[in-house]
């Protein structure tokens, strides 16, 4: 049976919209919005963004009432296990009130809900960043009251893990893989039989540094830094998530620019890439230990996975663990369409957000 799937993924300044027939892409566009709209509070942008999506469908000469299911990017919600979730009132309430954080992606499910109510279709999210399947042993820290959290590139990591598993004629639930997503943030997940049992918190900058995140820091030195500079929480969070990594060490977050400098012989750029390669390798080694050495494949994805220079620096450190595969870039829209198709076709059960 053929299903019409509308995929929406909202960013701070644009909206990605796509039409799929089952899991086959028909059209995929990024809708740019004027600053006069995107500077407004998020709830005030919902109606404008919805109209932009409807105009997108009109230009494709596609009747909105023929959409069978809307698949939206999941926002900041309570920790949940992986899968595809029906957008219900509990989810809408949490997103409207920003109970678990404020982000432009929160609007995706809210707009999908509006669309569902207007046109009578289904509406879902798949594998939001808050997917939490950590085992208790990695959740505990050495300070009572503080636990490690799972915030990572869940959508792309799980999509890539499924793609690899299919390539060897297995189900995702039958493989053990380590996925390293390298982008503005870098997250390394240990996927054991369909569950991400260990991963660094990419939102708060845990793990390797990245183009604009500090990565994990020595506790004592960082505490002294905060005290010496009399920093409040908001400033500290800004530093570790937006002003660290390449930005702090080279005054740029443009990885391609920094790579060109390294290849041209710039010693600072070379040392940054070499340190990054070691940090990523150590994170992969940690995940291999969690999987007790039973690793079918190590997979690199995200924008930085296009960098042969970086991958060539990493691979000598980790190639003894398992074979390595590259899936550069991100396929979020395809992953959202596939999540919706799996549930509407009956291949997978729809989950309920409570």
200 inside domain = yes
| Residues 19 and 62 sit within 8 Å (Cβ to Cβ) | yes
Looking at the domain assignment, is residue 139 inside a domain?
no
Q: Decide: 17 and 73 in contact? Cβ < 8 Å.
A: no
Q: Identify whether residues 128 and 225 lie together within a single domain.
A: no
Task: Assess whether 219 and 118 both reside in one domain.
Answer: no
Asked if the structure places residue 43 within a domain, the reply is yes
**Strands 122-126, 84-86: parallel, antiparallel or unpaired by DSSP?**
antiparallel
Block means of pLDDT (10 residues each) for the chain, 354 residues, are 96 94 96 93 93 97 98 95 97 95 91 97 96 97 95 95 97 98 96 98 91 96 98 96 96 96 98 98 98 98 97 98 96 95 97 97
Looking at residue 302, its pLDDT comes to: 95
Residue 167 placed within a domain:
yes
Q: Which DSSP letter does residue 124 get?
A: E
Per this entry, what is the length of the chain? 354
* 324 and 337 fall within a common domain: no
Tell me, what's the pLDDT at 1? 92
Looking at the fold, whether 221 and 253 belong to one and the same domain comes out as yes
Tell me, yes or no, whether 222 and 118 share the same domain. no
The reply to whether 317 and 200 lie within a common domain is yes
pLDDT at 330: 87
Report the domain count for the chain: 2
Task: Looking at the structure, tell me whether residues 348 and 216 fall in a common domain.
Answer: no
Task: Tell me the C-alpha distance between 110 and 229, whole Å.
Answer: 40
Please state, in angstroms and rounded to a whole number, the distance separating the CA atoms of residues 26 and 24.
6
Q: Strand 297-302 vs strand 176-182: parallel, antiparallel, or unpaired? A: parallel
Q: Which pLDDT score, from 0 to 100, does residue 102 have?
A: 86
pLDDT of residue 114: 97
Are both 178 and 309 inside the same structural domain?
yes
Same domain, 192 and 310: yes
CA–CA gap between residue 213 and residue 221 (Å, rounded): 17
Residue 141 forms part of a structural domain: no
Question: 118 and 208: one domain?
Answer: no
**Residue 240 exposure: Cα atoms within 13 Å on the Cβ side:** 22
The DSSP line for 215-281 is -S--HHHHHHHHHHTT--HHHHHHHHHHSSTHHHHHS---HHHHHHHHHTT-HHHHHHHHHHHHHHH
pLDDT score, position 203: 82
* Same structural domain, 109 and 213: no
For residue 147, is it within any domain?
no
Are 47 and 163 in the same domain? no
pLDDT at 204: 84
Q: Round to whole Å and give the CA distance between 201 and 185.
A: 10
The range of the structural domain enclosing residue 49 comes to 4-132+333-352
- Give the pLDDT of residue 12: 86
Per the domain annotation, does 90 fall within a domain? yes
**How high is the pLDDT of residue 292?**
98
**Would you state the pLDDT for residue 296?**
98
- Asked if residue 291 is part of any domain, the answer here is yes
Q: What is the CATH number of the domain that holds 348?
A: 3.30.420.40
């Amino acid at each position: 049976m053929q299903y019409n799937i509308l995929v929406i993924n909202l960013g701070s300044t644009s909206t990605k919209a796509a039409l799929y027939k089952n899991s086959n892409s028909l059209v995929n566009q990024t809708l740019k919005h004027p600053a006069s709209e995107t500077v407004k509070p998020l709830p005030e942008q919902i109606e404008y963004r919805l109209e932009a999506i409807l105009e997108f469908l009109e230009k494709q000469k596609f009747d909105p009432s023929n959409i069978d299911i809307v698949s939206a990017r999941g926002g900041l919600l309570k920790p949940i296990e992986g899968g595809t979730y029906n957008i219900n009132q509990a989810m809408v309430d949490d997103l409207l009130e920003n109970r678990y954080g404020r982000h432009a992606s929160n609007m995706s499910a809210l707009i999908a809900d509006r669309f569902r109510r207007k046109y009578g279709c289904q509406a879902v999210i798949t594998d939001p960043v808050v997917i939490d399947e950590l085992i208790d042993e990695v959740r505990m820290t050495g300070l009572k009251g503080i636990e490690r959290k799972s915030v990572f590139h869940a959508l792309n990591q799980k999509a890539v893990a499924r793609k690899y598993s299919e390539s060897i004629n297995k189900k995702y639930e039958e493989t053990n893989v380590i996925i390293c997503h390298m982008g503005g943030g870098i997250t390394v997940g240990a996927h054991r039989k369909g569950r991400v049992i260990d991963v660094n918190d990419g939102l708060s900058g845990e793990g390797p540094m990245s183009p604009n995140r500090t990565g994990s820091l020595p506790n004592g030195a960082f505490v002294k830094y905060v005290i010496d500079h009399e920093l409040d929480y908001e400033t500290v969070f800004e530093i570790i998530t937006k002003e660290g990594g390449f930005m702090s060490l080279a005054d740029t977050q443009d990885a391609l620019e920094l790579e060109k400098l390294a290849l041209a012989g710039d010693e600072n750029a070379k040392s940054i890439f070499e340190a990054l390669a070691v940090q990523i390798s150590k994170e992969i080694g940690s995940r291999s230990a969690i999987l007790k050495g039973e690793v079918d494949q190590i997979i690199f994805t995200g924008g930085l996975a296009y960098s042969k220079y970086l991958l060539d620096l990493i691979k000598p450190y980790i190639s003894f663990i398992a074979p390595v595969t590259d899936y550069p870039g991100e396929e979020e829209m395809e992953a959202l369409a596939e999540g919706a198709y799996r549930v509407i076709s009956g291949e997978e059960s729809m989950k309920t957000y409570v």
